[in-house]
Structure 1
C-alpha cells in the first residue's frame, strides 16, 4: 500500500522521471560486464528515487529542461548508490531492500570499486554542466557525506552520545544530499536566488525527517517492510535517535547496552524491539521527526505557487510518515 501511494504521487510526472531513469541506466555502461551488471542491479533494486525526484521538481521552479535536469539528478542518485555500496562493506551487510548486496555477491574488493566507479561517473556527468556553483555544491556535498560516514564509524558502539552529536551526523550523512538535490534542481534551471534558498532549506528539513524516520523503522518495522532484519542498525553499533532516548530509560538501557555489547540472542533482540516499540523513546523520536517535517512544509508553502509545489508537499508528507 505504501509503495502504491508513492507510485501514485510519482505518476503526476512519470514521463520526466522515466527520462531520468533511462539516463541513470545509460550512465553505468561499462567495458566490464560484472561492473555494469552490479550497477544495473543496484538501479533496479527498488529505491525510492527521492533525490532525483526532488531535483526534477525543484527545476520546475525555473526554466525546466529535462536534459539539463538529468545531468544534476543522475549524479546525485549515483552518489547515493555509491554510499550504500560502501556502507554495506563497512557494515558487512548481506541484504538491502530484500536483495543481496554487491558485497555479498562479488566480495568487498569488487564492491569498493563499484562504489568508486559510481562516484567517478557522477563527477563525469556533472562536469558537462558549465556552472562553477553547481560543481562547488556537489563537491562540498560529497566531502560532507564522507565526513559524516567517518564520524559514524568513530561513534559506533559509543553509548554516551547526545542529541547534538546525532543531528550533526545525520545532517552530513543524509540531509545534505537531499538538500543539495533541491538546491541543484533550482540552480540548473536558473531559478531566482530566493527560491533556490527556500528549496535548499526545504530539502535539508525533509532530509532530517527522512533519516530519523529511517532510524525509527529499524526498531518499529518488520523484516519484510525493511528488506533486512529489524534492529540491524543497533546491532551494528549505530546509535540512532531512538537508541539515544532509550538509553535514558532505566528499563530499556540494560537491553540496549547488551545489544551493543553483543550479549543478546535472537529472543533478547525480539524482546528489546517489543519494549522499544511501545516506549517514550519512539514517541519522542517521532516528535523530533515531525518538527523537521513541519519546517519543511513551511518552506514549501513559501515557494512560488505552481502545481509542482503541491507534489513537493505530498512527497514530503509521505516520506516523513512512510513504513518502508
Structure 2
C-alpha cells in the first residue's frame, strides 16, 4: 500500500535534561543525521527522515556520547559513531514494523502503513548500509568488530522472538535471551563502542559494556510491563499490542507460573491464538498474580546492576547523567 500523501516529519527530538551535559554533541549528531540521509533516490530520503524524526528519545546515540565523554574523549568521531548507532536502530524499527504488521509507532503511522512493506524493508537496508559506511569513517577495527557482532545478535534476537510468537511454553530464561538480543544488545554496543573510542582500560570498557546491557534489559522490561498498564496516548501504541500478537513477555510468563491452573490455561490459549477478545480477562489475571510488580522488580534489579558498573568511572556530570538514565528507564510511563 502506498500513501497518497507523504506524512509530514516532525521536528528533531527536543533535548531532555539528560542531554544537557552533551547538548552541543547532541545537536551535532542531529545535524550529521540530516547530512547522512542524502540519497539520489527521493523515497529513500523521505522514509528515512520520517522514521528518524518521529519523536524517538535517541537514547542509544546519547549513550555513545556519554560513555565517550565520561572517559575524557576530546575528538569528534563520537558524533559519527552516535549517528551510525541511530541508523542501526532506525533500520531495525523499519524491519520490525513490517514483521509485526504494525500500524502505529510513537503515535504516528508506521512507514510500512504509509508507504508499504517493500519500501520500508529496502530503506531499512539502506540505513544499515549507511551505518557500515560510517563505521569505516570511525576507523576502528575494534569498534567495527563490536558493531558487526551486535548486528548478528540483534537479528538472531528478532528471529528468536518471531519463533516464540504463539508459544506459551517460553520460559523466563528464554525471554531474557530474546530481549538481550533484540533490545539490550544495541544499548550494550553503544556504550561499549563509546568507551573503546575513548581508549578505555579493559576494566572500564567492560563496565560500560555491562552498563548498556543492563540498561537495555531494564528498558525492555518496562516496555513489556507498560503493554499491560500503560497509557496508549503516552506510549504511541495500544495497550495489549503484545498480547494481540501472541508475544509471551514476562508479565504473561509470570502470570502463568503464579496463577491457578485455570488462569494459566486461559493465558496459554490467548498466546496461541493472539487477538484481544479476552484482554480484560488477561489483565485481571496479570494484576491478580502480581505479574506487573514482579516485572518491575526485575527491571529495578537490572537498573541497579547498571548503576554498579558506573562505580568504575571517575565522578563527572556524564557519569551522573548515565545514573539518571538508569533510573529513568524504570520510572518512565512511556
Structure 2 partner of 1:259: 270
How far is 1:150 from its partner? 0.8
1:140 aligns with 2:149: yes
1:155 aligns with 2:161: no
Structure 1 partner of 2:179: 170
Q: d(CA) in 2 for partners of 1:264 and 1:158?
A: 14
How far is 1:263 from its partner? 7.0
| Aligned with residue 194 of structure 2, among 185, 188, 212 | 185
1:39 aligns with 2:34: no
1:122 aligns with 2:131: yes
How far is 1:7 from its partner? 1.3
SS of structure 2 residue aligned to 1:200: helix
Q: d(CA) in 1 for partners of 2:318 and 2:274?
A: 50
Residues 237-256 of structure 1 aligned to structure 2 (within 5 Å): 237-248=246-257, 249-250=259-260, 252-256=263-267
Judge which range, 241-250 or 7-16, deviates more: 7-16
The alignment's TM-score, normalised by the length of structure 1, stands at 0.93
SS of structure 1 residue aligned to 2:64: helix
Q: d(CA) in 2 for partners of 1:57 and 1:66?
A: 13
| Aligned with residue 290 of structure 2, among 260, 280, 285 | 280
Which deviations, in whole Å up to 9, do the C-alpha atoms of 1:174-196 show, x marking residues without a partner? 11110110011111122222211
Change (3 A) 1:321 1:265: closer
How far is 1:19 from its partner? 0.8
The alignment's TM-score, normalised by the length of structure 2, stands at 0.91
Structure 2 partner of 1:319: 329
Which deviations, in whole Å up to 9, do the C-alpha atoms of 1:176-217 show, x marking residues without a partner? 110110011111122222211111111111111111111111
Structure 2 partner of 1:291: 301
Which deviations, in whole Å up to 9, do the C-alpha atoms of 1:13-34 show, x marking residues without a partner? 2221111111112221111111
SS of structure 2 residue aligned to 1:128: helix
Which deviations, in whole Å up to 9, do the C-alpha atoms of 1:123-157 show, x marking residues without a partner? 00111122110110010000100111111111111
Which deviations, in whole Å up to 9, do the C-alpha atoms of 1:241-282 show, x marking residues without a partner? 11111122126434423432447655x324433542454111
Tell me the number of residue pairs that the alignment of Structure 1 and Structure 2 aligns: 320
SS of structure 2 residue aligned to 1:220: coil
Q: d(CA) in 2 for partners of 1:5 and 1:290?
A: 27
SS of structure 2 residue aligned to 1:219: coil
Which deviations, in whole Å up to 9, do the C-alpha atoms of 1:98-142 show, x marking residues without a partner? 111110011111111011011000000111122110110010000
Q: d(CA) in 1 for partners of 2:274 and 2:253?
A: 19
Structure 2 partner of 1:235: 244
User: Contact between 2:210 and 2:306, CA under 8 Å: does it hold in 1?
Assistant: yes
**Structure 1: gaps spanning 5 or more residues:** none
Q: d(CA) in 1 for partners of 2:305 and 2:275?
A: 38
How far is 1:65 from its partner? 3.8
SS of structure 1 residue aligned to 2:228: helix
